[in-house]
């Protein structure tokens, strides 16, 4: 049984991220290092091996010498701490320990006003602070052919969020002569995480549509029926009670299994140009987390949260030849994660790849955020594919406000 003993406020942020230990077995958008290096593009530029993650129609786009491919594994992680919550929690814990020691040794005498003011400032600094972390793990086995190309894929994604809520009652009338009651603070920290685990079969077929002006024109259609498991968990407690809290993940998390469907189209007026469209998770799903145990007087704040999986539509275009690829994707709608949080993402993505003799690939990309919930990011990647058979891909991502990401994958094709 997985049991997490919370030993202090410095683990408040970890309350959300602790669930990520599960995500590495089961748990962010796009499990493909090549795509991460190219800014997150993929709806028109993914390979047949990674088509199940972006656009199932692309499983029908392959070279004549492509017969079989395995992707195992592809791992990605990103962390966004726009409010520097992790550092602020550490700073508060230090001054909180100093103040608690001063109170315990004062024998009822006043403590330093300066120390109390520092404590109040550190507590207020955490108010409404958020930290978001995403993790993804993916794998695929693909068999392209002219009859019906197929790719059996699995993708696990998790998004976790930590948020601090500071209660003004903890600050009212507090000074050196009237220090805070360390055992009855009402400020709380929330950790919530939601995971989506897909196991699906991407199927795609291409149709030639020759015209006098466009003799090589073709259209590809693809679908991905999939079994989808949803996992959600919430942890919340007051600052003063963190030291005495046991959080049993295995007892608290909620899960559900459902059917879902992805759909994709790809149009090539000429072989070098692809226009793609994908609709993922066409059936909306919801799952409530557990309800955290509520201390007296906090019932209205300690409530279950709701993980949401909504349809996501993306349009993409790509140009590709033997040595160069350029791609652009744009999300046509926002993607929410939890009903109760004003957190939604939507991006316009741009990427490019230089291919040296099918042995080495260099990539760069940029993701332009279209919402206030996220910041723009830039990325770079490197691929090594000796003999065009084995491939290792690495990508790094960076954005403002403590936004970092990395992805790694291994593939075998023949």
- Residue 200 CB neighbours (<10 A): 23
**Which tokens in the block code for residue 124?**
């207020």
Provide the pLDDT for residue 18.
Answer: 37
Phi and psi based region of residue 388 (left: phi greater than 0; alpha: psi -120 to 50; beta: remaining):
left
pLDDT at 129 over 50: yes
Provide the pLDDT for residue 48.
Answer: 96
Least trusted range by pLDDT, from 148-157, 245-254, 271-280, 404-413: 245-254
| 140 and 22 Cβ atoms separated by less than 8 Å | no
Average pLDDT over residues 102-114: 88
Provide the pLDDT for residue 248.
Answer: 62
Least trusted range by pLDDT, from 1-15, 279-293, 304-318, 358-372: 1-15
**Which tokens in the block code for residue 264?**
């994709």
Provide the pLDDT for residue 2.
Answer: 35
Per-residue burial over 278-308, b = 16 or more CB atoms within 10 Å of its CB, e = otherwise: bbbbeeebebebeebeebeebeebbeebbbb
Please give the residue that has the higher pLDDT: either 14 or 92. 92
Confidence of residue 85 (pLDDT cuts 50, 70, 90): confident
Q: How far apart are CA 88 and CA 123, in angstroms?
A: 9
pLDDT at 370 over 70: yes
Strand (E) or helix (H) holding 90: helix 85-105
At 68, give phi and psi (nearest 5°): -165, 145
Alpha-carbon Rg for the chain in angstroms: 25
Q: Which of 70-84, 151-165, 360-374 has maximum average pLDDT?
A: 360-374
Confidence of residue 242 (pLDDT cuts 50, 70, 90): low
User: What's the start-to-end Cα distance of the chain, in Å?
Assistant: 42
At 33, give phi and psi (nearest 5°): -65, -35
Residues sharing a CB contact under 8 Å with residue 372, sequence separation 6 or more, in sequence order:
none
Q: How far apart are CA 331 and CA 169, in angstroms?
A: 43
Average pLDDT over residues 377-397: 92
Percent of the chain with pLDDT over 90: 49
pLDDT at 326 over 80: yes
Provide the pLDDT for residue 4.
Answer: 35
Largest Cα separation within the chain, whole Å, is 95
- Residue 267 CB neighbours (<10 A): 17
Strand (E) or helix (H) holding 369: strand 360-369
Q: How far apart are CA 322 and CA 256, in angstroms?
A: 45
What is the tens place of the pLDDT at every residue in 38-63?
999 999 999 999 999 999 999 999 99
DSSP designation for 283? S
Q: What share of the chain is helix, strand, coil (3-state, %, to 5)?
A: 20, 45, 35
Give the chain's count of helices (H) and strands (E): 7, 20
pLDDT at 17 over 80: no
Cα–Cα nearest to 262, from 97, 42, 27, 68:
42
Provide the pLDDT for residue 31.
Answer: 63
Kindly provide the residue ranges of all beta strands, DSSP E only, lying in 269-346, ordered along the sequence: 273-280, 285-288, 306-309, 312-320, 324-331, 335-336, 344-345
Least trusted range by pLDDT, from 9-23, 199-213, 253-267, 382-396: 9-23
What is the tens place of the pLDDT at every residue in 167-177?
888 888 888 88
The number of C-alpha atoms within 13 Å of 105 and in the hemisphere containing its C-beta is 7
pLDDT at 270 over 80: yes
What is the tens place of the pLDDT at every residue in 179-234?
888 877 888 888 888 899 999 999 999 999 888 788 899 999 999 999 999 999 98
DSSP labels, 26-52: H------HHHHHTTT--TTT--TTTHH
Confidence of residue 1 (pLDDT cuts 50, 70, 90): very low
| 283 and 36 Cβ atoms separated by less than 8 Å | no
- pTM reported for the whole predicted model: 0.85
Average pLDDT over residues 260-284: 97
pLDDT at 328 over 70: yes
**Which tokens in the block code for residue 125?**
């600094």
Handedness of CA 61, 63, 68, 72 (dihedral sign): negative
Alpha carbon 356 to its chain's center:
31
H, E, C per residue of 91-123: HHHHHHHHHHHHHHHCCCCCCCHHHHHHHHHHH
Average pLDDT over residues 339-345: 84
- Residue 130 CB neighbours (<10 A): 18
pLDDT at 246 over 70: no
């Amino acid at each position: 049984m997985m049991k997490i003993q919370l030993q202090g406020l410095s683990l408040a942020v970890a309350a959300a991220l602790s669930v990520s230990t599960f995500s590495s077995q089961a748990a962010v958008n796009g499990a493909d290092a090549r795509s991460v290096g190219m800014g997150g593009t993929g709806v028109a530029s993914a390979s047949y091996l990674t088509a199940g993650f972006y656009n199932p129609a692309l499983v029908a786009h392959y070279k004549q010498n492509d017969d079989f491919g395995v992707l195992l594994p592809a791992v990605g992680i990103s962390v966004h701490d726009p409010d520097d919550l992790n550092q602020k929690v550490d700073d508060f814990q230090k001054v909180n320990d100093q103040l608690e020691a001063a109170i315990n040794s004062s024998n009822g005498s006043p403590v330093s006003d300066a120390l109390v003011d520092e404590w109040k400032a550190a507590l207020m600094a955490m108010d409404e602070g958020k930290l978001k972390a995403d993790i993804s793990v993916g794998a695929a086995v693909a068999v392209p052919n002219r009859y019906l190309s197929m790719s059996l894929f699995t993708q696990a994604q998790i998004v976790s969020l930590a948020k601090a809520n500071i209660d003004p009652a903890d600050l009212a009338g507090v000074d050196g002569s009237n220090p805070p009651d360390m055992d009855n603070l009402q400020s709380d920290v929330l950790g919530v995480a939601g995971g989506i685990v897909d196991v699906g079969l991407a199927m795609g077929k291409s149709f030639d549509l020759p015209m006098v002006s466009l003799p090589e024109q073709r259209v590809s259609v693809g679908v991905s029926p999939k079994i989808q498991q949803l996992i959600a968990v919430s942890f919340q407690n007051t600052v003063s009670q963190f030291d005495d809290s046991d959080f049993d993940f295995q007892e608290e998390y909620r899960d559900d299994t459902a059917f879902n469907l992805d759909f994709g189209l790809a149009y090539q007026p000429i072989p070098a140009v692809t226009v793609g469209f994908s609709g993922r998770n066409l059936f909306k799903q919801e799952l409530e987390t557990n309800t955290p145990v509520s201390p007296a007087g906090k019932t209205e704040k300690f409530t279950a949260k709701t993980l949401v999986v909504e349809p996501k539509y993306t349009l993409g275009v790509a140009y590709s030849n033997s040595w160069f690829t350029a791609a652009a994707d744009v999300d046509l709608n926002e993607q929410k994660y939890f009903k109760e949080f004003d957190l939604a993402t939507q991006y316009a993505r741009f990427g490019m790849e230089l291919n040296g003799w099918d042995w080495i690939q260099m990539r760069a990309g940029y993701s332009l955020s279209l919402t206030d919930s996220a910041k723009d990011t830039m990325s770079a990647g490197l691929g090594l594919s000796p003999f065009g058979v084995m491939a290792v891909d690495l990508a790094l991502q960076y954005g403002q406000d403590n936004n970092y990401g990395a992805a790694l994958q291994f593939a075998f094709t023949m």
